[in-house]
A and B are shown apart, each in its own frame.
Chain A
């Protein structure tokens, strides 16, 4: 026979206790405070500073750094915080479309707590060109959530960081240098900064004043030979000249620079954990042009728009004035996660989708080129 559980001296007392559980809970619930329930919580408030989401911002001033590069300093509607090296989207309304692009933040994290953020942008495309030619103090912008993992990670990275910056790729490192200088970050930063000529260097004066035992900056000019500057491209020899022992490499620059440096770095036999690269936006692809019909479902609305085989699905949607989510534009963050109903496509760069996304037919429009007519479900921005 099954044993009979008993805890009290008399078994019926166990039963009575059970019977009383509802009464006990009822009593507790009735004894709760009658003050209104909180509308917010401290941890959630801090989270709102760390991950503010979209923030309205106004342009405070513009500084010209070189012939083709300007820094846009904005005041955000709320304080926020980020990790030096991270990017955020900067966007505004141009004509009938909302346009946004991801840029590395060039200001220090500490300043963001005072609602100040800066982006340093080289004029090279539609939005950067618009900024360069039109942006002026007082203009309204939207700044996105600080994102990305291109930052120093104390637990895994070597305390010695070798920063390899190509051209405008200096911006995340300028933020890092400021963060090291003001004590926000604690590591040794050696920046090898490659540009064509001295005139193309942005932040040279600022970087020179930040130099310290923890911050070294080496300028490397490819198209100019000058006293006090290294000449040529960023290379294994240059790294060897300025750094020894264990180090973490962080690279930010154009794809051609990555391809070259990947080969140069072989000489150091570094494990993958010692090399970090900031991803670049997926651009156009070079195929025979064709225009497909792209059907986009957003909520209960349906749009059919033209989509060029050369451009990403995201770009086609933006061209058509659809307000859709975008963040990294490099296929990795998953913010534009959309459901494919039908159609053929090719992914630009490596496939960074989650396993189940491939299985159930989800795409990241920011890195997807159409190979046929397509139909997709996209969340609203």
Chain B
């Protein structure tokens, strides 16, 4: 029987980062991936003369060599940064909302961002300065917490990062109202909310502010050859470090040790049994406890049932036979909303018939050569906040796909006064069914467990030790302690990888 110090299940962003961390810690590691490619959603696909990015809109917290973000620092430590060619995204975002008649283009850089906001919303400056001051404290507090592996000293927290503690239990809307930020400025500032997938009455302020400040101070990055380049760079690094990888191989069971109920091994889809005492699962705890383990402690079942799936994904990819200039597409990324009342908007996103939200990217505006001259590559993404796609029968599937794509194209054409429809050379549509198929996520969820009020970033980080309830079993990816998104997934792999190295060392 084959024997490994650790098995990583799933080569998504979290699993890839965890594997490198384990190898760097001296462990013998097997990474198994059921798909034939690494990366999970971090991949690309070709249609005709276009190579589409499958999911990455912009990589947050990466920065440049001179102004490195935490993700770049992590990639440096993992030894992958220089295997990838990087691009910088030009502007933060353009947000358009119909109800409030907002059309705002926001730049990177705190000063520029505040100045632009003051231009759109005179009188917003003071509250915006306070926002960034809070955000900066939150970032520092998080850096401190990470440096002590989550075991923060309450006294230090209060003395050095008092504002983090004071605002840490509130939602985005609660804090921004306390800062007396004018409503229109709040509306513009909240544009990123759909990247985290919980509405602003629910979403923890610290989580949101920590994301915004990383975008605004470090800009956003993109690998030239789409996120597939990142994923292959990770695989390259894993092979350099002597790790074993099996593609087209599904881990079907996690065996438990009769003595302590902890991890004892893994069974692969061809019946191979691997002996190991450590698993990092880069997938939903719902799947691990629902079908991969026979003995699950009752408190684990309860804790897992208590959690709520976040957004189910939908993406439309268009290759257009005119240039962005000819089409009049000026910006890299757009957020289109019906309303900036995110509670109302969240409700509209529950149903196929009422969801018109989109986060849209024109990659040519960051990388003009991403598609052949005279063409444009765009991708449009939305989330469904309930399982309306579960009501779609197979025989209605293709029509429903088309219905939603039509709707997305029409919305973009109306809001940006452009014509896309007559220039579509390639089209591809990914629905919750597509995401369910590729990564096996329950109901096609792409955002892990929702960042609900009680289940946000801060309490998850504070409870990392407590959430680790089965010996030898840790999680990485969007369902784990750092929540969803590219950066978060890499960090979760980093954390779980290092923790597992510690677990192995303690066992001797």
Q: Which residues of A contact B (CB under 8 A)?
A: 2-7, 11, 14-15, 17-18, 20-22, 24-26, 28-44, 46-51, 79, 81, 83, 109-110, 113, 149, 153-156, 184, 271-273, 299-300, 325, 332, 334-335, 337, 352-357, 359-360, 362, 379-381
A-B CB contact pairs (8 Å), 18 listed: A2-B137, A7-B178, A21-B462, A28-B455, A37-B301, A42-B443, A44-B444, A47-B433, A81-B395, A113-B395, A156-B425, A156-B427, A300-B244, A325-B36, A352-B46, A354-B45, A354-B46, A357-B228
A2 CA to B163 CA, complexed, in Å: 9
B182 within 8 A of A: no
Q: Which residues of B have CB within 8 Å of A155?
A: 402, 405-406, 409, 421, 424, 427
Residue of B nearest to A332 (CB): B46
* Given A33-B305, A155-B402, A357-B228: 19 more A-B contacts, CB < 8 Å: A3-B133, A5-B134, A5-B178, A5-B179, A7-B166, A25-B460, A26-B466, A30-B302, A32-B304, A37-B301, A44-B444, A46-B392, A110-B395, A273-B426, A300-B2, A355-B51, A356-B231, A356-B232, A380-B270
Verify A7–B270 contact, CB threshold 8 A.
Answer: no
Given A38-B286, A273-B425, A325-B248 in contact, is the A43-B433 Cβ separation under 8 Å? yes
Verify A355–B229 contact, CB threshold 8 A.
Answer: yes
Verify B302–A32 contact, CB threshold 8 A.
Answer: yes
A110 CA to B394 CA, complexed, in Å: 10
Q: Which residues of B have CB within 8 Å of A51?
A: 433, 437
Given A34-B301, A37-B305 in contact, is the A22-B46 Cβ separation under 8 Å? no
Q: Which residues of B have CB within 8 Å of A83?
A: 398
Q: Which residues of B contact A (CB under 8 A)?
A: 2, 36-37, 44-49, 51, 130, 133-134, 137, 158, 162-163, 165-170, 174-175, 178-179, 224-226, 228-229, 231-233, 235-236, 244, 246-249, 270, 286, 289-291, 296, 298-299, 301-307, 312, 321, 387, 389-390, 392-395, 397-398, 402, 405-406, 409, 421, 423-428, 432-434, 436-437, 440, 442-444, 454-455, 458-460, 462-463, 466
Verify B36–A379 contact, CB threshold 8 A.
Answer: yes
Verify B301–A32 contact, CB threshold 8 A.
Answer: yes
Given A2-B133, A156-B427 in contact, is the A36-B301 Cβ separation under 8 Å? yes
Interface of B is mostly: helix
A37 CA to B168 CA, complexed, in Å: 32
A34 CA to B303 CA, complexed, in Å: 9
Verify A273–B163 contact, CB threshold 8 A.
Answer: no
Residue of B nearest to A17 (CB): B169
Minimum Cβ distance to chain B for residue A61 (Å): 25
Verify A337–B37 contact, CB threshold 8 A.
Answer: yes
Minimum Cβ distance to chain B for residue A34 (Å): 5
Residue of A nearest to B384 (CB): A43
Q: Which of A24, A36, A334, A354 has the most CB of B within 10 A?
A: A354
Q: Which residues of A have CB within 8 Å of B387?
A: 42-43
Given A4-B166, A47-B433, A113-B394 in contact, is the A41-B226 Cβ separation under 8 Å? no
Q: Which residues of A have CB within 8 Å of B424?
A: 155-156, 273
Q: Which of A28, A41, A360 contacts B436 (CB 8 A)?
A: A41
Q: Which residues of A have CB within 8 Å of B37?
A: 334, 337
Minimum Cβ distance to chain A for residue B188 (Å): 21
Minimum Cβ distance to chain B for residue A79 (Å): 8
Minimum Cβ distance to chain B for residue A171 (Å): 20
Verify A39–B291 contact, CB threshold 8 A.
Answer: yes
Verify A46–B225 contact, CB threshold 8 A.
Answer: no
Q: Which of B51, B134, B166 has the most CB of A within 10 A?
A: B166
Given A2-B133, A14-B169, A43-B312 in contact, is the A50-B442 Cβ separation under 8 Å? no
Verify A380–B395 contact, CB threshold 8 A.
Answer: no
A354 CA to B223 CA, complexed, in Å: 13
Residue of A nearest to B230 (CB): A356
Q: Which residues of B have CB within 8 Å of A272?
A: 48-49, 321, 425
Minimum Cβ distance to chain A for residue B304 (Å): 6
Verify A18–B301 contact, CB threshold 8 A.
Answer: no
Q: Which residues of B have CB within 8 Å of A37?
A: 286, 289-290, 296, 301, 304-305
Minimum Cβ distance to chain B for residue A212 (Å): 21
A44 CA to B398 CA, complexed, in Å: 16
Given A50-B397, A50-B437 in contact, is the A22-B459 Cβ separation under 8 Å? yes
Q: Which residues of A have CB within 8 Å of B395?
A: 81, 109-110, 113, 184
Q: Which residues of A have CB within 8 Å of B458?
A: 21
Given A155-B424, A332-B46, A356-B232 in contact, is the A34-B166 Cβ separation under 8 Å? no
Q: Which of B302, B304, B463 has the most CB of A within 10 A?
A: B302
Top 4 A-B residue pairs of the complex, sorted by shortest distance between their CB atoms: A32-B306, A37-B290, A42-B390, A273-B425
Verify B390–A356 contact, CB threshold 8 A.
Answer: no
A248 CA to B98 CA, complexed, in Å: 36
Verify A18–B165 contact, CB threshold 8 A.
Answer: yes
A122 CA to B231 CA, complexed, in Å: 41
A28 CA to B299 CA, complexed, in Å: 12
Minimum Cβ distance to chain A for residue B310 (Å): 14
A273 CA to B443 CA, complexed, in Å: 33
Verify B442–A41 contact, CB threshold 8 A.
Answer: yes
Minimum Cβ distance to chain A for residue B385 (Å): 14
Verify B290–A379 contact, CB threshold 8 A.
Answer: no
Q: Which residues of B have CB within 8 Å of A42?
A: 387, 390, 443
Verify A380–B425 contact, CB threshold 8 A.
Answer: no
Q: Which residues of A have CB within 8 Å of B236?
A: 360
A42 CA to B158 CA, complexed, in Å: 47
Q: Which of B229, B248, B270, B304 has the most CB of A within 10 A?
A: B248
